[in-house]
Amino acid sequence: MMTATLPQAPFRLEQKRIAQAILLAALVLVLFRNALPAGLLRLPEGLILPFADWINAAFAFARDDLGLMALTRAVSDAVEFCLDVTANMLYGKSRWPNVGPIPWVVIAATAGMAGHALGGWRLATLAAGTFVWIAVMGQWKWAMETLSVIVVAAPLSVLLGLALGTLAWRYRLAERILNPILNIAQSLPHFAYMIPVVVFIGVGPKAGAIVTVIFSVPPMIRMTLLGLRSVPPEIIESGKMSGATRLQLMTRVRLPSARTEILIGVNQVIMQSLAMVVLASFIGMPGLGQKLLQLLQALKIGLSVEIGVTIVLLAIVLDRMSKAWAVKQPAHAEGPWLHRHRLLAIWLGLVALGFALAALHPYFAEVERKQALSLAGPVDAVVGRVIDLIDPVTDWLRWFLITWVLIPLRDAFLWLPTSAVLLALAGLGWRTGGLRSALVCLAFALPIALSGWWDRAMITAYTVFVAVALALMIGVPLGLVGAANETRARRFLLVCDTAQTFPSFIYLIPVIMLFGVNDVAVIAAVMVFATVPIVRYTIEGLRGVPPEIVESAQMSGASRGQLLWHVKLPLALPTLVVGANQSIMFALFMVIIAAFIGTQDLGQEMQRALSSADVGKGFVLGLAVAFMGLMADHLLLRWAQSRASPGGK
Amino acid sequence: MQRLTRLLLGAATIALAAPLLAPAALAEDSPDPIVIPIHNWSSQIVMSNVVGQMFEGMGNSVEYVSTDSQAVYEAVRLGDATLELEVWEGAFGASFDAAVAKGGIHDAASHNAVTREDWWYPLWTKEACPGLPDWKALNDCAAKFATPETGDKGRFLGGPVDWLKHDQEKVDALGMNFVVVNAGSAAALWAEIAAAEKDKTPIVLFNWTPNFAEAVWPGEFVNFPEWVEGCDKDPAVGPIPDKTYDCGNPANGYLKIAAWDGMKDKWPAAYATLQKVSFTNAQIAEMAKLVDVDGMEPEDAATAWMEANEAVWKPWTE
């Protein structure tokens, strides 16, 4: 037998058996549910641990006894000073240095020149065009309020990320501490850490800036660490040989060599900051996000779409610019000053021209709301027409889904005994990664049961399950269509980018108008968001299939269907799994936001915790969501790994 | 010693300044900006801008900060925000009382307006259920409000759970054929009315006055057994002897103005004005309408309102 020669196989076989035994035990628990003692159905009251109280006590201790409040207030005062400066420059808030606001033509020209310097005429047109759009649509002041926070928060986040990333690179202990924190931070719903910010910092632009920093710093830390790690030792050697001190080695050798990774980190920071624009307005960040929420509150969909477009445009411009910066290698020019600094000179000329124009006519300084153009009328009309058009279908669909799919499924999720779910998860863990994965799964799932939020967590799980299943059903075929050729793939990916940065709050309203306040609306909203990564990764996965393999399959006479099912999809599977994993993460984020439609899951409680500034409860709920995400992440990635490694089958 | 010097200095300043200045401006307002919090509904934003522009007219500097409408009381208490112009009894009474108990915030004035929050329907609902606004009639046509998820019972669309409106208790107490479904935000409530309006579907949901909805969709509140003090706590009070919440919500809740305790000393003139501020239901609805129906920006709406209503606010600033 083969097993004798392969030392791994008996272990694998055993792993499979144990997993089957555990899963069988879970099945038995489910089958004999009605005969189970109450303690196995749900954890008995006595075992529920008051995590929230403990966290609150810890926070109270930090705030009152350790005097952390004085520190955070000092930090936030420093941040506020920076915010006041940018606020004055960008929209003329009456603060030192009292020189602003800078006319919009000047900023648009500056953006255009920056675009040109980084990526040529196309980027220049895109950048300048975005700012012209913002100005003529009358959103200048709001956009500048937003940007005044981002231009402070993003550099802060970059610096903090660089510092922490370097620390983690230098000291193994720091990395060991940071890594789990980063994992959790990246899967924690935004609202969870907004609550302590309200307690320690207060509300307003400074709170918005700080929450943005917290949200955007993890990728920067990771990319810095990655970049510093991947500097080839030869470069370091040559640096040492030229007699560089340790500081010089860091600033002149290591950091410049890690430039590309670090700039990708910067790009991530900018994208995350823009993703936070709307959510941060819940704790007082002014600008586009705040305006968007106000407009949605009055059901002004057209005007909110305009703001959504602005946010997407800003994201695309900043994304393209920072990526162009990452790719661009530092160049050295020679010659007289004017020759070397031709672009700088042109920019200075344009700035002077801009100020002159602004002095000539106030339209070039600021476009007032009354003079603004608007697309709201047509957009509202289109949205109204679309809703009218599909309304008859949705009526039936809603009835069908609720009566025959969603309510039964939801009841089934709630009907399952806690003990059976825990066992099944352990079994799944064992099946994918042996004892270690089984323990990891339990370590994530058990605290949720102990926290006492089990039922709500099951409803969240049910919502995410249905939404991701639907997203797979829609997203994979879409991805297959999109991957047909290069041009189409690029177009599809652009749509994915747009859908991902478009503020999700906007489509909550049409979804409610279509489906009403119920699970169908919630799942529809979550699904829209969860489909994006699946389409993206399907396309990426199929594009990544080596053309030689496709060709050789074609030569051996595979039909198109065979080619797809037996060659392309299996090879793209690891990437697809990453997509599914991302999709679960996105769904978990969105399901919390969908609480604004009306849910009975963790999100609803989270909303309550935010309005009562209950730090402990917010954290417990946030961790429950994060743990679900991390568990799915662990299982899926493990599974993909075992499939990818040769001994895995 | 230092205190004495400061006292003497203060006395000297007053002695010097008193003959020069009008009595109302005995002490100067601080040059620091008065921070006015704004929330996500228009009447509050416009009203904040009106009062802000009044303060600016008196030479104060004013800043607006957007905050959560529940968390704001903590901010006012700590002095991060200076005042709050719309304290609704039903929606924010609990948060406000809790903040008052902690200290730092107080009730500065009351608007000449009543607030009411209860079950409400847009007028087209009456065609399907002619007996309205009586609650018994509503209960008789409960089936007209049924949705797939509520089965044959009617659906009542409540506000977000954290508004703590006790709708479920009311349904239980009065034995109504309704299921309470909670929306997650005010916007979700409006979206449901807008959707119902398209084919005039009957709908009954949580609503309140004054707000912009009444200007867009005319409607009425459901008449429940009248609110009597204690009917929410004492089973004996109210028509059903063994139930609590066997009554409607109070039809005349307060609408107050809250201020930071330090405001009186830091901006005495502005504080004196604030104490005189009082808007009526009609004025508040008008402010909301300027933004929500006429599509003005809140700042412009405030200016427009002030131009049209100088007689109302001018006396408060004198």
| Chain A residues with beta carbon closer than 8 angstroms to that of B157 | 517
- pLDDT tens, position by position, A75-96: 999 999 999 999 999 998 878 8
User: Do A74 and A189 lie in a common domain?
Assistant: yes
> Do the chains contact at A596 and B185, CB–CB below 8 Å?
yes
Cα distance between residue B132 and residue A165, in whole Å: 66
Domain shared by A266 and A405, yes or no: no
More confidently predicted of B251 and B100: B100
Mean pLDDT of B272-291: 91
Q: Do A610 and B68 touch (CB under 8 A)?
A: yes
- Would the CB atoms of A203 and B71 count as touching at under 8 Å? yes
Give A294's contacts in chain B (Cβ within 8 Å).
40-42, 45
Query: What does residue B96 show for φ and ψ, rounded to 5 degrees?
Result: -65, -50
Q: If you search the block for the tokens 């010659």, which residue do you land on?
A: A335
pLDDT at residue B27, rounded to an integer: 61
Distance (Å) from the alpha carbon of A103 to chain B's nearest alpha carbon: 21
Last residue of a domain, which of A280, A311, A330? A330
Q: How far, in Å, CA of A160 to CA of A166, rounded?
A: 10
Q: What percent of chain B is predicted at pLDDT more than 70?
A: 92
B contacts of A369 (beta carbons < 8 Å): 297, 300
- How far apart, in whole angstroms, are the C-alpha atoms of residue A382 and residue A73? 48
Q: CB–CB of A520/A322 below 8 Å?
A: no
How close is the nearest chain B Cα to the Cα of A362, in Å?
18
* Cβ contacts of B160 on chain A, cutoff 8 Å: 598, 604, 607
> In the structure encoding, which two tokens stand for residue A447, read together?
């605290």
Q: Which residue of B has its CA nearest to A593?
A: B184
Question: Looking at residue A616, what is its pLDDT?
Answer: 93
> pLDDT per residue over B134-151, tens digit each?
999 999 999 999 998 888
Assigned token pair, A248? 């010089």
Q: Do B188 and A294 touch (CB under 8 A)?
A: no
Same domain, A394 and A326: no
Measured CA to CA in angstroms, residue A503 lies from A128, A453, A493, A587 at distances of 22, 29, 17, 15
Q: A519 to chain B: which residues are within 8 Å by CB?
A: 149
User: How many Å lie between the alpha carbon of B287 and the closest alpha carbon of chain A?
Assistant: 14
- pLDDT score for B2: 52
Q: Tens digit of pLDDT for each residue in A154-176?
A: 999 999 999 999 999 999 999 99
H/E run at residue B34: strand B34-38
Closest Cβ–Cβ partner in A298, A597, A613 for B74 = A613
Q: A603 to chain B: nearest residue by CA? A: B184
A28 within domain boundaries:
no
Residues in chain B with CB shorter than 8 Å from the CB of A402 are 148-149
- Cβ-based contacts of A613 with chain B (< 8 Å): 71, 74
Mind telling me how many Å the CA of A85 is from chain B's nearest CA?
15
Which pLDDT value is given to residue B89? 86
Does some domain include residue A309? yes
The parts of chain A modelled with pLDDT lower than 70 are 1-12, 644-649
Mutation choice for A interface testing from B40, B205, B211 by most A CBs within 10 A:
B40
Annotate A65-103 with DSSP letters as a single string: IS-HHHHHHHHHHHHHHHHHHHHHHHH--S-TT---PPP
Question: What domains can you pick out in chain B, each with its CATH number?
Answer: 29-114+253-317 (3.40.190.10), 116-221 (3.40.190.100)
Q: Which two tokens stand for residue A34?
A: 């009605």
- Same domain for A206 and A91, yes or no, is yes
Query: What is the least distance, in Å, from the CA of A84 to any CA of chain B?
Result: 12
Closest partner residue to A281 (CB to CB) among B37, B41, B66 is B66
Note whether residue A362 is domain-resident. Answer: no
pLDDT at A46: 87
Pairing relation of β-strands B105-110 and B62-66? Answer: unpaired
The domain containing residue A501 runs over which residues? Answer: 390-418+454-648
Establish if A549 belongs to a structural domain: yes
Q: Does some domain include residue A212?
A: yes
Rounded to the nearest 5 degrees, what angle is found at the Cα of A465, between the Cα atoms of A461 and A468? 135
From B155's Cα to the closest Cα of chain A, the distance in A is 11
Considering chain B, what is the average pLDDT of its residues? 87
Cβ of A513 within 8 Å of Cβ of B191? The answer is yes
Report chain A residues whose CB lies below 8 A from the CB of B74: 198, 613
- Of A330, A350, A365, the position where a domain reaches its end is A330
Which residue does chain B place closest to A387, by CA atoms? B195
Confidence of residue B19 (pLDDT cuts 50, 70, 90): very low
How many interchain CB pairs under 8 A, A with B?
Answer: 136
Question: Does residue A552 lie in a domain region?
Answer: yes
Rounded-to-integer distance, Cα A26 and Cα A28, Å: 5
Which chain A residue has its CA at the smallest distance from B211's CA?
Answer: A298
In whole angstroms, give the CA distance from residue A337 to residue A634.
Answer: 56
Q: How confident is the model at residue B1 (pLDDT cuts 50, 70, 90)?
A: very low
In chain B, which residue's Cα lies nearest the Cα of A513?
B195
pLDDT of residue A203: 77
Nearest CA distance, B274 vs chain A (angstrom): 23
**Contact at CB, B190 and A297, closer than 8 angstroms:** yes
Torsion of CA A608, A612, A615, A617, to 10 degrees: -40
- Same domain flag for A403 and A326: no
The CATH number covering residue A315 comes to 1.10.3720.10
What is the distance in angstroms between the Cα of A83 and the nearest Cα belonging to chain B? Answer: 14
What is the reported pLDDT for B18? 44
Q: Which residues of B touch A391 (CB under 8 A)?
A: 198-199
| Shortest Cα–Cα distance, B241 to chain A (Å) | 32
pLDDT in the model for residue A406: 94
Q: Which chain A residues are closer than 8 Å to B184 by Cβ?
A: 517, 594-599, 604, 607
CA distance B195 to chain A (A): 5
**What pLDDT, on a 0 to 100 scale, did the predictor assign at position B241?**
85
- Same domain assignment for residues A623 and A480: yes
Question: Is residue B167 a contact partner of residue B156, using CB atoms and an 8 Å limit?
Answer: yes
Kindly report the pTM of this predicted structure. Answer: 0.88
B63: helix, strand or coil? strand
Question: Which residues of A fall within a CB distance of 8 Å from B81?
Answer: 203
CA B192, distance to chain mean position in Å, is: 22
- Chain B interface, best mutation among A517, A600, A621, by max B CB count within 10 A: A517
Task: Calculate the average pLDDT of chain A.
Answer: 89
Angle, vertex CA A38, rays to CA A37 and CA A42, nearest 5: 130
pLDDT for res B251: 86
Q: What is the pLDDT of residues A4-62, one digit of tens each?
A: 444 455 556 788 889 999 999 999 999 988 888 888 889 888 889 999 999 999 988 98
In the predicted structure, residue B79 carries a pLDDT above the cut 70:
yes
Q: Residue A428: exposed, middle, or buried by beta-carbon count in 10 A (0-12, 13-18, 19+)?
A: buried
Is residue A534 assigned to a domain? yes
Same domain, A159 and A272: yes
Q: Which residue of A has its CA nearest to B80?
A: A202
Is B68 in Cβ contact with A596 (below 8 Å)?
Answer: no
Look at chain A and report how many structural domains it folds into: 2
Over residues B157-214, the pLDDT tens digits come to: 999 887 778 899 999 999 999 999 999 988 899 999 999 998 899 999 999 888 878 7
pLDDT (0 to 100) of residue B6: 54
Same domain, A407 and A277: no
- Select the residue of B80, B186, B198 nearest A388 (Cβ to Cβ): B198
Q: Do the Cβ atoms of A513 and B80 come within 8 Å?
A: no
pLDDT greater than 70 at residue B7: no
Distance from CA of B293 to the nearest CA of A (A): 9
Interchain CB distance below 8 Å, A298 and B188: no
Dihedrals phi, psi of B38, to nearest 5 degrees? -120, 150
- Nearest by Cα to A475 from A529, A437, A399: A529
* β pairing state of B62-66 and B116-122: unpaired
Q: What percent of chain B has pLDDT over 90?
A: 53
Same-domain pairing of A176 and A74: yes
Gap between the Cα atoms of A83 and A78, Å rounded: 9
In a domain, A543, yes or no: yes
Cα A451 to Cα A479: distance, rounded to the nearest angstrom? 39
Report the residue from A391, A597, A613 with minimal CB separation from B184.
Answer: A597
Between chains, do A608 and B161 touch, taking CB under 8 Å as contact?
yes
Please list, residue by residue across A360-379, b when 16 or more beta carbons sit within 10 angstroms of its beta carbon and e when fewer do: eeebbbbbebeeeeeebeeb
Measured between beta carbons, the chain A residues lying within 8 angstroms of B194 are: 299, 513
Placement of tokens 């352990």 in the chain: A426
Q: Provide the β-strand partners of residue B205.
A: B120, B157
Residue of chain B with shortest Cα separation from A374: B295
- What is the distance between the alpha carbons of residues A201 and A211, in angstroms, rounded to a whole number? 10
Do A399 and A314 sit in the same domain of this protein?
A: no
The verdict on A324 and A394 lying in the same domain is no
Say whether B195 and A387 touch across the interface (CB within 8 A).
yes
Q: Do A296 and A404 share a structural domain?
A: no
Q: Which residue of B has its CA nearest to A512?
A: B191
In B, minimum Cα distance to A401 occurs at B148
Q: Which among A330, A352, A373 is the end of a domain?
A: A330
Q: Which residue of A has its CA nearest to B36?
A: A204
